[in-house]
A and B are shown apart, each in its own frame.
Chain A
Amino acid sequence: MEQIKVLLANIDKPNSTSIDTYTAGGGYEDARKALTTMKPDEVIQLVKDSELRGRGGAGFPTGNKWGFVPKNAPKPTWLLCNADESEPGTFKDRVIIEKDPHLLIEGMIIAAYAIGSNPMSYIYIRGEFHYGATVLDKALEEARDKGFLGKNVFGSGFDLDITVARGAGAYICGEETGLIESIEGHRGQPRVKPPFPAVVGAFGGPTVVQNVETLACVPLIVRNGAEWFKSFGTPKNTGPKLYCVSGNVKKPGVYEFPMGITIRELIYDHCGGITGDRKLKAVIPGGASAPMLTPDEIDIPLNFDALMKAGSMLGSAGIIVLDESVCIVDAVWRLAKFFAHESCGQCTPCREGTNWLESVLDRIERGEGRPQDADLLLDMSDNIGGKSLCALGDAAIGPVISSVRKFRDEYLHHIQHQSCLPGTTRYRRLDMPIAAH
C-alpha cells in the first residue's frame, strides 16, 4: 500500500504553520462553505455519512456523537478539542498541532457550528506540549486577525473564539470526563456516565470532546464529501489514518495510510523492519492499553473492527514494536507502573489493583516470583476490569492479560529461574531507587 498525504498534506510546505500558506491551499474555505451554505444539521448528517470514527482511542462514530447534543439546552454547549495525547506510543496529534495548526482550527470552527457551540471553545493540550501550545496561540491570533474567529464568522451570525487550555501532566485528563473536570479547574477525576457529556458536560451544558485528528478530518470531509472519505478504508472503518510506529523499528515515526494497512506491511515495507534485523516478538497496536499481538497475528488490518475481533484494539494507533531482545515481564512492568501512577484514585479496584499489578510484576522481575503468580495476575485483572468508573482500569489490564496468555513461558522462566529469558534484556536497573508516585 502506498503512503498518502491527505491529513498531512501541508506539513512539508515551507512555513506550514502560517495562515497565508494555509489559505493559499484553499484553507478556511471549507469552514466558509459549512457556515454560509449548510445548516448545522446538514453538517452533522455529512459527518455521519462519512462514517468518521473518533481517533482518540474509543473509535466512537463522530456524527452520532454530535447528533446526541440536544438543541435548545438550558445551558451553553461546548466543543472541547482533546489534545492531551498521553497514551504511550502515540504522537500523531503533535504533528498536526505543530505543523498544520490551522487544519485543526478550521475543523473546530465547523464542528462548533454543527453542534451549536457557545462563542468560546477550548483546545485542551497536554502541559508538556509547550511548543505546541505556542504554535497554536500564534495560529489562533492569525485566525482572529483575518476574522475567521471572533464575532459573525464569515458573516454567518455564528460567533466563535478558541482558547488554548494547557493541562498539567495527567494522562487521565485525556479521558473525556476527566478532561471536562480539568477544564472546570478541578482534579481531573472522571465522572460517572450516564449522563454522557453530550447531554451534561462542561459547566453543566452539553459538551462534545473530540480528538485532534478527528477534528482535522472534518474540513476535508466538507471539501470532498462523504463518498470521498469512504473511499479510504473499508465500511465503518473509513478515512485516511495517521499511524504512529515506535520501539524497535529502523524508521519510527508517523505514517499516513488509508485505514486498514496490515501490521506486517507497516513494519516491514515502510518502517524498514526491526532494528538490527532482529526477530519480532510482540506488537502493541493501539497504545499502551491495547492487548499485545504475536508475530503470527501481524496480517490483521489496522482498523477498528478487525483489531477488536482479534481481541485487541486500534485505540490511538500507537504501534509499539517489541523485538526478541525485549523481556516481556520488564515491558509489562513498565506499563503497569505507568497505569498505577496515572490512576486518579477514585475507584478502589483501579487504585489498589494497578498498584498491586505493578508490585507483583516487580516481585517477579526481582526473582521473587511464586508459581501461582501468573494466575494471580489474571485473577487481579479480573477484579479490576469492568469494575471501575472509567476505562483506565480496563486499559491497565490489557497488557497484563494478553502477555500472561501469550508469553506465559517468560513469566514461568522468571519464576523458576529468577532471571529473564536468555537473550532478553532487562532495561531498568533493579538497584535504582524508584521515586514515589
Chain B
Amino acid sequence: MADLHPDNPYAPERFPDRSKHVEFPEEAKKRFDWILTRYPNKEAALLPTLHLAQEVWGWISPETVHYVGELLDLSPATVFGVVSFYNMYNQKPVGKYHLQVCTNLSCMITRAYDIYDHLCEKLSVNPGQTTPDGLYTVTEVECLGSCGTAPVVQINNDYHENMSVETMDALLEKLK
C-alpha cells in the first residue's frame, strides 16, 4: 500500500483512542476557566486553550483535539483545522528539548544552516524527528524575530542567540 500523506485524514493515528481518558488536571482547569473570561465567546478561546493543552501534554493528540472540542463546543474538525494551520502546535510528541533552528535569510547568511545540518548529523535525525532516547527533536523554523543576534535557536520556550556550531555543542552538553 502506498505511503499515506502525513496529513491524510484517514490515517489511523488521526482517530482518538476512546479508551484513553483525557482531561485537564485541576491547575489547568482553573487556567482554562480564567481564559474563558477573557474572550467574548468560546471559539475565540481556542488558540489559548490549545497552548494550555500543549503545556500540559507536550503535544496535541487526537484525544486532545476531541477534548478541547468538547470544552469549547467546537467540532473536532474545527479544532483540528486550527491545530494543523499553526506551526507551533505539535501534532506529534516532541523530545524533552525541542531544538528549533531559524534558517531564514539573516540567520542563513550568518551560517545557521551549519548549525542545523550539524545537529541533524550529530543526533542522527531527519528534520522534524526525535532522537530514540526522546531527548531532542530538531526542526527548521522560520524567522524568530531575533535577526540582530543571528543565528538563533529556540529551545522549548527560550531563545538562544548568537549561536555557532561550537556554542550549540556546548549547550547540548548541558541539556540532558
Chain B binds chain A: yes
Binding site for B on A (CB under 8 A): 85-91, 93-94, 120, 126-131, 163, 165-171, 182-188, 203, 244-248, 252-254, 284, 288, 318, 320, 322, 326, 330-331, 334-335, 338, 341-342, 344, 427-429, 432-436
Interface stretch (choices B22-30, B86-94, B164-172): B86-94
Q: Contact check: which of A166, A253, A334 meets B47 at CB < 8 Å?
A: A166
- Measured between beta carbons, the chain B residues less than 8 angstroms from A167 are 47, 86
Contacts of B6 on A, CB cut-off 8 Å?
436
- Would you give the 0/1 interface string for B100-122, flagging 1 where the beta carbon is closer than 8 Å to chain A? 00011110111111001100100
Q: Which residues of chain A come closer than 8 Å to B104, judged between CB atoms?
A: 88, 288, 334-335, 338
A361 to B158, CA, bound (A): 33
Return the 9 tightest CB-CB contacts between A and B, nearest first. A169-B87, A168-B86, A246-B147, A169-B88, A185-B46, A435-B127, A246-B106, A130-B157, A185-B43
Alpha-carbon gap, A22 to B82, bound state (A): 38
Knowing A86-B145, A433-B127, the reply to whether A252 touches B105 (Cβ < 8 A) is no
Residues of B within 8 A of A245 (CB): 148
Q: Which of A163, A288, A331, A334 has the most CB of B within 10 A?
A: A334
Contacts of B87 in A (CB 8 A): 168-170
| Most central of A120, A126, A185, A427 by chain B CB within 10 Å | A185
- Could you tell me if A170 and B85 are in contact, using CB atoms closer than 8 angstroms? yes
Inter-chain contact B142/A184, CB cutoff 8 Å: no
| B-side contacts of A130, CB under 8 Å | 157-158
A131-B106 contact, Cβ under 8 Å, with A85-B145, A86-B145, A246-B147: no
On whether the beta carbons of B148 and A253 are closer than 8 Å, the reply is yes
Q: Is A252 touching B48 in the complex (CB atoms < 8 A)? A: no
Q: How long is the Cα–Cα vector from A120 to B45 in the complex, in angstroms?
A: 14
Q: Which residue of B lies closest to A188 (CB)?
A: B85
CA distance A93 to B145 in the complex (A): 9
- B interface residues, how many (CB within 8 angstroms): 52
Q: Measured between C-beta atoms, what is the minimum distance from B140 to chain A in Å?
A: 6
B148 touches A168 (CB 8 A): no
New A-B contacts (13) at CB < 8 Å, excluding given A87-B143, A432-B117: A86-B145, A127-B86, A128-B154, A166-B48, A168-B87, A184-B44, A186-B43, A246-B150, A247-B110, A252-B147, A288-B104, A326-B109, A432-B113
B117 & A429 in contact (Cβ 8 Å cutoff): yes
> In chain A, what residue has the closest Cβ to B89?
A168
Residues in A neighbouring B111, C-beta threshold 8 A:
427
Q: Are A168 and B147 in contact (CB under 8 A)?
A: no
A248-B142 contact, Cβ under 8 Å, with A165-B47, A318-B147: no
Cα A169 to Cα B144 with chains together (Å) = 9
Cβ-based interface call for B146 (8 A): yes
**Complex formed: what's the CA distance from A245 to B146 in Å?**
11
Which A residues are CB-close (under 8 A) to B38? 120, 163
14 contacts between A and B (CB under 8 A): A85-B145, A163-B39, A167-B47, A185-B44, A185-B82, A186-B82, A247-B147, A252-B106, A320-B105, A322-B109, A427-B113, A428-B108, A433-B127, A435-B139
B128, CB-defined interface residue at 8 Å: yes
Residues of B within 8 A of A203 (CB): 40-41, 44
A432 to B113: give the CA distance in the assembly, Å.
Answer: 10
How far, in whole Å, are A252 and B46 apart by their CA atoms in the complex? 38
CB-CB under 8 A from B139, the residues of chain A are 435
Question: Distance in Å from the Cβ of B49 to the closest Cβ of chain A?
Answer: 9
A247 and B106 in contact (CB under 8 A), knowing A88-B147, A91-B146, A185-B45? Answer: yes
Indicate which residue in A187, A253, A334 contacts B105 across the interface (CB closer than 8 Å): A334
Contact B109 A247 (CB under 8 A): yes
Q: Does B50 contact A (CB under 8 A)?
A: yes
Assuming A168-B88, A170-B87, A434-B127, is B105 touching A288 (CB within 8 A)? yes
Shortest Cβ distance from A183 into B: residue: B44
A88 near B106: Cβ-Cβ < 8 Å:
yes
CA A130 – CA B157 in complex, angstroms? Answer: 6
Asked if residues B144 and A128 are in contact (CB atoms below 8 Å), the reply is yes
| A423 CA / B85 CA spacing, docked (Å) | 40
Whether a CB of chain A sits under 8 angstroms from the CB of B126 is yes
User: In the complex, what distance in Å separates the CA atom of A254 from the CA atom of B142?
Assistant: 20
Asked if residues B88 and A127 are in contact (CB atoms below 8 Å), the reply is yes
Most chain A CB neighbours (cut-off 10 Å) among B51, B109, B113, B158: B109
- Interface residue? B81 (CB, 8 A): yes
Q: Is the CB of A433 within 8 A of B126?
A: yes
Could you tell me if B108 and A128 are in contact, using CB atoms closer than 8 angstroms? no
CB-CB under 8 A from A129, the residues of chain B are: 145
Bound-state CA distance A105–B169 (Å) is 40
B75 near A: Cβ within 8 Å? Answer: no
Are A320 and B144 in contact, CB atoms less than 8 angstroms apart? no
B149 to chain A, nearest CB (A): 7
Residue among A87, A168, A288, A429 facing the most chain B CB atoms (10 A cut-off):
A168
A393–B109 Cα distance when bound, in Å, is 24
B159 at interface by CB-CB < 8 Å = yes
A88-B147, A166-B48, A244-B147 known; A128-B88 Cβ under 8 A: yes
